[in-house]
Amino acid sequence: MNIPGRKVVSALLGLSFLFVAAQAVATGLATSKRDCVEILEQWAQNPDSVAAHLVEGCRELLAADTARLAEELPVEDPCADPAAANSVRCWGPWEALSPASGPEADAPQSLVLHDDYEFRPEFADTFTPGNRPPNGVDPMNPVDPMNPVDPMNPVDPMNPVDPMDPIAPIDPMTPVDPMNPTDPMNPIDPMIPEPPLGLCEAGGSCGFAVLDPDFCSVPEDQTVGRFDLASDGSQFVFDRGGENEIASLTGMTASSYQGQSAFHASNGDVESGVAGDFTANNAGELIVASGLWGHGTAGFVEHGASHANRPADGGHFVWGVASSQATLDQLTTEGINNGGQGISLHFAGSLQRNTSTTANITISFGSRPDWNGQWTSTTAATTFSAGGSVHGANLVSVAGRFSANVDAGRSAIQGILLGERHSQSVIHAIDVALKNGTILKDVGHLLETQP
């Protein structure tokens, strides 16, 4: 049966495709490619709707265009260029962009494990973990070059104290004075050297002594060091923990030596002792002591004994209990509140060994305590002056404040303020080299005096 309507539709479709084909020839390759894509899409949906010769022509046209592009674009390795390390495409290995096949086909590609990456030896050195590629960000250490804060150590750039590091708990309400940058964990002014013999804590017992090997060494062979004495006089230690450490016998008891008070112990082979001036509190505990100390072969303390036959080491010492923190705070407060003029304490006394040398030390308290001292001898050859800073109960010399006749680079003086307000004294040790060749190694206990 002939149906006129169908003939009319077929005729119209034929005319339409002839028109499209003619337009494709007339408008060039770009239009033909676009039209062919549409024709092939329509053919894929309904094969009977497109003439076979049009389908075949479009296939040939697209195939020819693909071949032409392949000839025009040379096939080369994009990572062979010297600047390839700057491209993330050459940092590989990366996962394939095509869908996975097999049982992992439905899994997201970012979660699929791959072990068939291509090894690129030309980039092995550059991308070894820990090495940073030239002009790029190390993929093994992705620190933003515009914000060099390690993401594994998130220090707040506005507050550069590491929150994971509790070593510096600085109270933000009491910032460090930029004119006096004292470390709150180490209250020694960074502009002042560490005390050569270590700090003495407020209220703690401390002392100094001179070690004179065999009691007859020249000053060059003597040593100035710390001296610890038990509060009941039962034991002493020189240079505790140091290379010259000497510990006495334990259990020394009260005795006397050549008319002086003493503490002494002996086991028949070795003996130890201290002798001199001792001051105790109401509880019977020693709070100040000074004099001689010794440790060695039994019998060395006998008057007139030959040290060649009975060797022992010892020397002079000073020791006491440092002023309490309450007393130190009171002195500072009085100094600041005294119209800005501060207050001063004065101390004087002779040295233990060089008894002809008298020391005078003045300690000034205020907003920034310091001290000055003068050592005067009956011979001008051993007269000099010095000064320094005060840290709690500690006096420390400053090289720039020695008098001109002192070899400051080889000299040091350290002292400790003892006792409580209106009943105080100073012990100190000197290790001074004068430019005339004289060497002074001594200790001294100075009592408070009027200026």
Q: How many CB atoms lie within 10 A of CB 406?
A: 22
Distances (CA, A) of 225 to 68, 262, 274, 289, 367: 93, 21, 16, 16, 31
Candidates 226, 236, 310; CA nearest to 275 is: 236
What letter represents residue 169's amino acid? Answer: P
DSSP 3-state percent helix, strand, coil across the chain (nearest 5): 25, 30, 45
- Burial of 312 (C-beta count, 10 Å sphere; 0-12/13-18/19+): buried
Predicted pLDDT of residue 272: 96
Predicted pLDDT of residue 48: 79
Tens-digit pLDDT string for the chain (451 aa):
444 444 443 444 444 444 444 344 433 444 467 778 788 888 788 887 778 777 788 888 877 777 776 666 555 666 666 666 666 556 555 444 444 444 444 544 544 444 555 555 555 555 555 454 444 445 555 545 555 545 555 544 454 544 444 333 334 344 444 434 444 433 444 445 578 999 999 999 999 999 999 888 899 999 999 999 999 999 999 999 999 999 999 999 999 998 999 999 999 999 999 999 999 999 999 999 999 999 999 988 776 667 777 889 999 999 999 999 999 999 988 888 876 678 899 999 999 999 999 999 999 998 889 999 999 998 777 899 999 999 999 999 999 999 999 999 999 999 999 999 989 999 999 999 999 999 999 999 999 998 7
Whole-model pTM: value is 0.59
Candidates 313, 270, 290; CA nearest to 229 is: 290
Peptide bond into 187 cis (omega under 30): no
Q: Length of the chain, please?
A: 451
Sign of CA dihedral 304, 307, 312, 315: positive
- Asked if residue 257 lies in contact with residue 229, where contact means CB atoms within 8 angstroms, the answer is no
- Asked if residue 188 lies in contact with residue 196, where contact means CB atoms within 8 angstroms, the answer is no
Encoded tokens for 107: 């899994």
Cα separation, 318 vs 444, in Å, equals 6
